Amino acid sequence: MTSFLNSRELDVSIRILSSGAALPEKILKNSDLEKMVETSDAWIVKMTGIQERHILSDTESFSSLTLKAAKIALERAHITAEDINMIALGTSTPESIMPSSACILQGLLGIKECISLDLQAACSGFVYALVTTYYFMLSNPNIRYALVMGCDALSKITNWSDRATCVLFGDGFAGLVLENNPQAKSPGILYCGLGSDGTGKSHLNVCWGIGQGYEKSNETNHYIYMNGREVFRTSVNYFSQLILDSLEKSKLNFEDVDWIITHQANIRIIHAVAEKLNISKEKLVVTLDKHGNTSAASIPLAFNHLLEEKKIKHGDKVMFVGFGAGYTWGVVIFQF
């Protein structure tokens, strides 16, 4: 990774207080996809581990689900929206080009003034937002509470007649509340690191953007393109190396970490990483069977699942590992 920080060397405690998540009401099962493209439930489960995914309906919006997830996180943190000093939102599918989705969320929450920004790092977007917020909080003690969101509506950029990609993606909205409290007993975030490699841009992309002009929109693919074989190989290698590097730099080992939450892209990727590093599968959180690949939302959705199932306890150490188009990547280790 090109940058990292071992927070145990600093006299700070920036910790995760709570999480919140929201999923669209509409569920698209593999059996539904069998009627749309030439595929089968058995093949999808074998190749991806996905059984169903949630898709925004005509009566739902990106902002309404983002707001719902944020309100749940605030309620669980026992704070009000007015306590929030910063909102960072990772997404590749914002509600609008401008203003940012974070700024829209700020307005919906009724927050009069705070820092609000979107970050685009594809499936690493949530980790990028989390690390960026962490650095903001380190540099400015007046940021006491922050909302960090990962929200994506990939159904809007999925070609539902392309069987290579349409089986993978879903919509999801989730986030965390962070607190900057030097007196807290928990050390909170222990380590974080980010990086990217732009040479991977051709293997996973949506190659049209507003900067090319609307006239280009009719001659360029608007949908997600993925070189599945290359992305699979690269993901396994990057996830494995990221986990090893972050443990070495944070001076931790596998026994110290209770939970590893990778981006939820494909069950075969997760299992391949576990086998390559000899990691107990009990440490690896898997929620993609019910959510599909929700890009920036996948890691906070998985963490929220841990909390709601009461599997995680205070004092547990958790590792977030994101990897996405670009390529981009990031790791955060924290004590809950």
| Residues identified as active-site | 123, 263, 293
- Containing 147, the helix (H) or strand (E) segment is strand 145-153
SS (H, E, C) 18-51: EEEEECCCEEEEHHHHCCCCCCCHHHHHHHHCCC
DSSP 293: B
Nearest to 108 by CA among 142, 81, 86: 81
Question: Using omega within 30 degrees of 0 as the cis cutoff, is the peptide bond preceding 99 cis?
Answer: yes
Q: Which residue has the tokens 């443990």?
A: 247
Determine the length of the chain.
336
HSE value, Cβ hemisphere, 13 Å, CA-based, for 189: 30
Angle at 204 between CA 200 and CA 206, to 5 degrees: 120
For 62, residues 6+ apart whose C-beta sits below 8 A from its C-beta are 56, 93, 94, 95, 101, 151, 153, 173
Nearest to 179 by CA among 334, 331, 297, 321: 334
